[in-house]
Structure 1
């Protein structure tokens, strides 16, 4: 054998050996994740079945959104096929943001996302996929009880950040919702990723998102003030518009002034007033409002402060279709009743939402369209992330 052939043979052996080691590492990492995920489910509230569909999303933050499914890499927004492989075997490790593929001809390929970009690795080479070079902070949550689960929940938040802003699920919603955005912002503040939201927040000009059939929902007023406080101050051009709108929702009760209007097509004065007070305080603005002493099924959804201003009643805590409601109520009451999905990925979802266009999930699977379910879901991921992180922080103190 001549020298060049010998070098080639050695290179092939080295590549094959490295691929086998990488496969073994991926399988071990996946096993550790599954064990941790099962422990987390048992701790917090079990599972809810999602369609039996294996896929993974890439594109955290401002990056191009990519969908891997059945050996095909798609542009997840347009549905355009970018790459196709004849797959003998695949290993998806969600907390490592990695898909490893062995093709039918024995080629080993890895799709991997990190803090810099989404990479395609093959034959010892790696290239950043188009539109994915954009920095994102990706903590490993070392020292936490469920670090791998936290990494996946964090990814499910980040992958739903779009050019328009944070959306509940980018397949079925085109516009951001202030409520979901505010909860996602609370999570991203914990991980140092508020810069990803800054351009969208600085560009806000409407006090309302108008996403529920165009209604002007008063909880939006406090939510948008809070969002502004994270990247700006009271001089943001939207602040005076918000304060002007507050006046038309004002009511006066025995305890003082509060606000009242329709949120999700019903009156929720406690929830709405809590959000307003939270936003005003965040910007250092005068706050003449008092949380009314009335039962409000949304009261427990606001767990960030004003916990003593709560009249027990029937909580809106649907853990099936709208699991973020249950996770929020658990955070408020200190209970653990809320599920994650039965899949490795995604862990979060929303079903039967009135304003969602579930045809957008067709690219993932018709099964999601049939069930009128979208996944992953940013509010669900945020609530679960924040509760798990908060409880682990408390336990370490």
Structure 2
């Protein structure tokens, strides 16, 4: 009798401890989600322009070179193959983007936790020990002391999640190839957070001065962008440098101030933007820089907000359609002018997007929701996430 009573008391004690731990975990999730929502509200007050986005309620796992996974509606899938990894009948669902966590309560009362940290992506089902779904090392700062710390964590995630097999792409579901322009901004983020290792092999393997996106056009900003990317992980002895320098010759023009670079970028001529990138890339590698930024209006000049700001001629700014479909343009413009015109989503996650892009393959987004194909919308987008990150981290 005494033995039975002792066992009953022990079982009751263990049950109480388990319930207490679960309650504490739930409290922590609720607190993290509340902090994130408060931070989003703070951002929306400071940046009041907004866009209504589809209410899809999903979350990506697999930052950096990890396996890409997507959670939605009680199902965890491989984001690239659509293989169902796990599924659960869900009673309650909490997605906490700033904690890289999805917490579920099943209809049977079991707690499921999907979480990503610096070591990998982890699954905990009920009382079972957590198991790794994919592993590799990353640096995931908490951005303590920054005004928008929870949001910075999410934006950092949106940059890292779109590094697919070592390639920094704008969105891993609708773009197969990296864009040098987008990759440079990603590189700036990765440099700040200590994650350049994620793209090092890709940069070291590049030999072509042009990414040859936008229907194969050799864009005049690409050589300077590639030089900068090389500077992040290597030096002027990189095998592509000589080819890059030679490729610049086709774009050289002579103006009143001296030689400058002029060609096509996004199907238009942008000599100020292109020359700024060329100069920045050359100087990043300590190479001779003979070029002078022309004194002419160039709408893309304001996209180059981190250097040569004084070499700028004001003119027509980006309009509402640019802000809605290509929000990275206006966030960069904000960084240049010190304004707050950039649009913020009305959803918790993701915080970045792109729409109606000419080179995006939208059927790739079907694994998330087929309505996105019709709307030509890709959540998330690395250039947008990077521009937001690089502006907000200064606050």
TM-score (norm 1): 0.95
Look up the SS of the partner of 1:230 in the other structure: helix
Counterpart position of 2:60: 57
CA distance in 1: counterparts of 2:242 and 2:128, whole angstroms = 54
Counterpart position of 1:386: 390
CA distance in 2: counterparts of 1:7 and 1:231, whole angstroms = 58
Q: Is structure 2 residue 220 aligned with structure 1 residue 223?
A: no
Counterpart position of 1:305: 307
Bigger shift: residues 320-329 or 199-208: 199-208
Q: Is structure 2 residue 83 aligned with structure 1 residue 76?
A: no
Match of 2:370 among 327, 342, 366: 366
Look up the SS of the partner of 2:27 in the other structure: helix
> Which aligned pairs between 1:1-397 and structure 2 lie closer than 5 A?
1=4, 7-130=10-133, 132-316=134-318, 318-390=322-394, 392=395
Q: 1:126 to 1:250 in 2, by over 3 A?
A: farther
CA distance in 2: counterparts of 1:191 and 1:120, whole angstroms = 25
Q: 1:358 to 1:5 in 2, by over 3 A?
A: farther
Counterpart position of 1:395: none
Bigger shift: residues 196-205 or 324-333: 196-205
CA distance in 2: counterparts of 1:204 and 1:45, whole angstroms = 41
Deviation at 1:340, TM superposition (A): 1.8
On the 8 A contact 1:298/1:316 being kept in 2, the answer is: no
Look up the SS of the partner of 1:381 in the other structure: helix
- Residues 275-321 of structure 1 deviation map (CA, whole Å, 9 limit, x = unaligned): 00000000000000001111111110111101111111113352100
| RMSD, aligned CA | 1.4
Deviation at 1:8, TM superposition (A): 4.4
Bigger shift: residues 33-42 or 280-289: 33-42
Look up the SS of the partner of 2:323 in the other structure: coil
- Residues 129-155 of structure 1 deviation map (CA, whole Å, 9 limit, x = unaligned): 34x211111110111111101111111
Deviation at 1:43, TM superposition (A): 0.9
Deviation at 1:2, TM superposition (A): 6.2
- Residues 89-128 of structure 1 deviation map (CA, whole Å, 9 limit, x = unaligned): 0111110001000000000010010111111113344434
Unaligned runs of 5+ in 2: none
The number of equivalent residue pairs is 390
CA distance in 2: counterparts of 1:246 and 1:329, whole angstroms = 27
- Residues 70-95 of structure 1 deviation map (CA, whole Å, 9 limit, x = unaligned): 00000011111110000000111110
Unaligned runs of 5+ in 1: 393-397
On the 8 A contact 1:90/1:101 being kept in 2, the answer is: yes
CA distance in 2: counterparts of 1:133 and 1:67, whole angstroms = 16
Bigger shift: residues 309-318 or 175-184: 309-318
On the 8 A contact 2:64/2:166 being kept in 1, the answer is: no
Deviation at 1:57, TM superposition (A): 0.6
CA distance in 2: counterparts of 1:216 and 1:45, whole angstroms = 38
CA distance in 1: counterparts of 2:126 and 2:35, whole angstroms = 27
CA distance in 2: counterparts of 1:15 and 1:361, whole angstroms = 40
CA distance in 1: counterparts of 2:64 and 2:10, whole angstroms = 42
CA distance in 2: counterparts of 1:160 and 1:3, whole angstroms = 55
CA distance in 2: counterparts of 1:13 and 1:118, whole angstroms = 29
Look up the SS of the partner of 1:154 in the other structure: helix
CA distance in 1: counterparts of 2:359 and 2:21, whole angstroms = 48
Look up the SS of the partner of 1:68 in the other structure: strand
On the 8 A contact 1:164/1:175 being kept in 2, the answer is: no
